[in-house]
Amino acid sequence: MNRVQRKRDERVRRIVAAAAEVFGERGYEASTLEEVAERLDVTKGSLYYYFAGKDELATAAIETLGTDWTERLEALADARADAPRVERLRALLREHIAIAVLEYPAALRLFLVPDSWPAALRERIRDLRRRHDLVFRREVTAGVAAGEFAVVSVDATLQAMHAAMSQAPLWCSHLAAEARDQAMDDLATTLLRLVSSPR
Amino acid sequence: MNRVQRKRDERVRRIVAAAAEVFGERGYEASTLEEVAERLDVTKGSLYYYFAGKDELATAAIETLGTDWTERLEALADARADAPRVERLRALLREHIAIAVLEYPAALRLFLVPDSWPAALRERIRDLRRRHDLVFRREVTAGVAAGEFAVVSVDATLQAMHAAMSQAPLWCSHLAAEARDQAMDDLATTLLRLVSSPR
DNA sequence: CCGAACTTTGACCTCAGAGTCAAGAGATGA
DNA sequence: TCATCTCTTGACTCTGAGGTCAAAGTTCGG
């Protein structure tokens, strides 16, 4: 029974992983359950044994992906708790960019959730974003409070950072490995400028 | 005969405008020709008299929207040719954000063109983006050459700017008019930081 | 090895939305 | 006014993809 449960969880995990892949590549509208099923070498019907429908599967994919992403950033921030603020923020930016480019190149599309989705689902996704946002917000506001950073508006700064990071894959995933690393470094350094003290 | 031609052109213009509206709101996949037709008070069939299909109409819409957008920015840059470089760039950023937020809130979705499209169409769209990019690139590189701006990397800087501007609608189109204007101002000012001379 | 619980299948239903077309309605010009 | 060209319609087909389900297959505990 517990054996069964674990097996089921594993199955769900795999389905969600495949779904995250497909939705991440194609975006919500253009993704088909048929394709998700194909990548798992099963048939569409079997997905419905685990998930009520496309929306639910997509939500699960978004949540899994988002949680994983956030946790890794949180862990990184903890690990660098003693580093200078600027360096910690730089590391966070760099890591975020790397995850976006190397692992979830189409997360942007995935997170463009249709307006038609039930409010509850959209709400859960918003929460996820908020938690994710908080990792960076904490750094920025603390830096500002300490007088090390200066920003026009915390919100605008964070939005700009997130936008740039999430679109990074669009322009640097086609680069060769070396140029890509350089581009990611450049972007992280560039984004640091957003909080640098003026003058 | 010429009368007929002009009438036809006008008709095409209107259709493309309506299509740009719909595709701009919903993105490619979620848009339907039915809805485009509805906004023109005609029926779907009539669209096929002017366009071969959805792809072609979407391409025309993207081109029109992109050209209009670019031309307005170019005109703005010309109009401020004598203004200080920083102010000209600020005006461009602000205008770009305003167009994105107020007129084409889902342009981001629209430009995420399906990979399945013919290469020729994708190529034309890439050209459009290049021309658009050039408006900002010119300002930034000139400013750097003049020693007024400093950047880590022109590419990274432009990418960050474009990303932030194109995602602006996602977070400020739901705001009330006043707060929205403030948010757009803040974002423009924030992005200026990306080129500000350091120290 | 059996029966029960769990899982997968594939045929099927449904429906939205792309695309077609014959027929008719409107212009245009002689 | 007639003939022709231009345009619009609405009913039609077709396809793809979401969703359902009874039946068959598989795994597990005893």
Domains of chain B, residue spans? 54-195
pLDDT tens string A124-181: 889 999 999 999 999 999 999 999 999 999 999 999 999 999 999 988 888 999 999 9
pLDDT of residue B10: 94
Residues of B in contact with A157 (CB under 8 A): 190
Say yes or no: Cβ of B6 under 7 A from any atom of strand D.
no
Tell me, what's the pLDDT at A10?
Answer: 94
Residue B108 to chain A, least CA–CA distance (Å) = 10
Question: What pLDDT was estimated at residue B198?
Answer: 57
Tokens at B119, concatenated: 């290469």
How many percent of chain B have pLDDT more than 70?
98
- Chain C positions with any atom < 7 A from a protein CB: 6-11, 16-22, 28-29
* Interval A2-7 mean pLDDT: 76
Q: Is the pLDDT of residue B136 over 90?
A: yes
Predicted pLDDT of residue A1: 53
Whether A119 has its CB under 8 Å from any CB of chain B: the answer is no
CATH class given for the domain over A55-195 = mainly alpha
Q: What is the CATH number of domain B54-195?
A: 1.10.357.10
Quote the mean pLDDT of chain B.
Answer: 92
Interval A41-70: pLDDT, tens: 999 999 999 999 999 999 999 999 899 999
* Per-residue CB contacts under 7 A with strand C, chain B residues 129-158: none
Q: Per-residue pLDDT tens for A110-136?
A: 888 877 788 888 888 899 999 999 999
CA B92 → CA A115, B10, B86, B96, B148, distances in Å? 30, 30, 10, 6, 17
Smallest CA–CA distance, residue B179 to chain A, in Å, is 12
Of residues A156, A125, A136, A119, the one with CA closest to residue B180: A156
Q: Is B144 helix (H, G, I), strand (E, B) or coil?
A: helix
User: Which of A12, A5, A3 shows the shortest CA–CA distance to A46?
Assistant: A12
Percentage above 90 pLDDT, chain B: 74
Q: Does residue A34 have a pLDDT over 60?
A: yes
pLDDT of residue B116 exceeding 90, the answer is no
Question: What is the rounded distance in angstroms from the CA atom of residue B160 to the CA atom of residue A162?
Answer: 9
d(CA B67, CA B13): 13
Would you tell me how many other CB atoms lie within 10 Å of the CB of residue B90? 18
Q: How far apart are CA A191 and CA A154, in angstroms?
A: 13
| Per-residue pLDDT at B52 | 95
Mean per-residue pLDDT, B126-149: 96
Question: For residues B51 and B43, what is the distance between their CA atoms, to the nearest angstrom?
Answer: 13
Report how far residue A94's alpha carbon sits from residue A83's, in angstroms, rounded to the nearest whole number. Answer: 15
A3 touches strand C (CB under 7 A): no
